[in-house]
Amino acid sequence: MFNLVTLDGFFAGPNGEIDWHNYDEEMGGYSIEQLKSLGALMFGRTTYDIMASYWPTPEAARGEAQVADMMNNIPKIIFSKSIQEVKDGPRWKNVRLFHEIKPEEIMELKREDQGDIAIFGSGTIVQQLANLNLIDEFRVIINPLLLGNGKPLFKGVKNKLKLVKTRVFANGNVLLCYKPATN
């Protein structure tokens, strides 16, 4: 799981807004590092809609060509009960649709993949997978912001975690990497 959150634990504002993301050149470089290590991305419907409406555009290609290329070509796994089918477009391709989370299918995806699978955004998917103990690592970038209200990333999740890595970015963001603690 890889997400940006506010210091008070929100991954999106009350209406899903993410305009508060503290993102700069250093964060862009880190995003590229992360994408290079991945075999697939996983989204819920809302995050999928946001990503699919931006990354295949000329604006994304002009603004962040390398990230756009990777986002457009990496395999994508979408969980949605409302989307009936997804079609590969000329630039937004390699999309697989699932209508529900089945632990055995997640384990199969993890076995067949060519690298890590990362969940971006998608709070409901994060919450469900965390409660099923199907997340191997939690990478959380804390943005130096108190939003006061929004969508909590870990609503209803109770897991004991072990800190395995940290990184401080010049813009004030802090990366915290956790793995599930084993007792």
pLDDT tens digits for range 131-178: 999 999 999 999 999 999 999 999 999 989 999 999 999 999 999 999
> Is the pLDDT reported for residue 3 higher than 70?
yes
Report how far residue 110's alpha carbon sits from residue 114's, in angstroms, rounded to the nearest whole number: 9
Identify which of 77, 81, 76 has the alpha carbon closest to the alpha carbon of residue 91: 76
pTM for the model stands at: 0.89
Q: Which residue has the tokens 């862009």?
A: 28
- Residue 91 CA neighbour count, 13 Å, CB half: 17
Question: Could you report the per-residue pLDDT of 32-79, keeping only the tens digit for each?
Answer: 999 998 999 999 998 998 899 899 999 999 988 999 999 999 999 999
CA distances from 97 to 42, 43, 104, 111, 119 (A): 10, 10, 16, 18, 14
Report how far residue 135's alpha carbon sits from residue 110's, in angstroms, rounded to the nearest whole number: 10
Identify which of 107, 132, 155 has the alpha carbon closest to the alpha carbon of residue 5: 155
H or E element that contains 179:
strand 174-180
Strand-pair partners of 173: none
The torsion angles phi and psi of 170, rounded to 5 degrees, stand at -60, -30
5-9, 59-63, 83-87, 145-149: which range is least confident on average? 83-87
> Which DSSP symbol is given to 152?
E
Number of structural domains (the chain) is 1
**Domain with 9 in it:** 2-180
At 90 the pLDDT is 61
CATH number, domain of 147, equals: 3.40.430.10
